[in-house]
Amino acid sequence: MKLNIIINGSGYSSQSGYSAFRFTQAALSAGHEITQVFFYQDGVSQANELNVPLSDEFNPVEEWASLADSHGVRLLVCISAAERRGVIGAEQQSEFGKSSHNLNSKFEIAGLGLMLDASLSSDRTVTFR
């Protein structure tokens, strides 16, 4: 089965990121295909390279990046939601004249059109709020 994952909740003020991560791991282990993981609304905070969780907490940036490496899962971050929340990539850094960027290199900036395309081409879209 082809699954499209959407995450709306913040990495630290909700359980959605951790739940989505565990669901994605289980789906991959069961042989399902993940078309993409799309981080939307407050979910974009999970791509912020500058997050520093406590040593015993779930680290969304590292865990998602590791999953992308090991399974080739695309991690997409909504451009509008990310810019509003201060999560920017190298292109946005240059475009907006900022001194640095904080988007982890395993995540890609994308528009809502890619989320819609994945929803249309997947068997199921699963959203975590």
For residue range 34-88, list pLDDT tens digits in order: 999 999 999 999 999 999 999 899 999 999 999 999 999 999 999 999 999 999 9
CA angle 72–35–112, rounded 5-degree value: 115
Annotated catalytic residue, options 65, 78, 103, 118: 78
In angstroms, the CA 16 to CA 116 distance is 20
In angstroms, the CA 118 to CA 4 distance is 6
Could you tell me which residues are beta bridge partners of residue 36? 4
pTM (2 decimals)?
Answer: 0.95
Task: Please say if 78 is a catalytic residue.
Answer: yes
Q: CB of 103 within 8 A of CB of 88?
A: yes
Domains of the chain (ranges plus CATH)?
2-128 (3.40.1260.10)
Band (pLDDT 50/70/90 cuts) for residue 95 is very high
- The mean pLDDT of 88-115, rounded to a whole number, is 96
Q: What is the DSSP letter of 103?
A: B
Check residue 59 and give its pLDDT.
Answer: 94
The owner of tokens 């905070």 is: 45
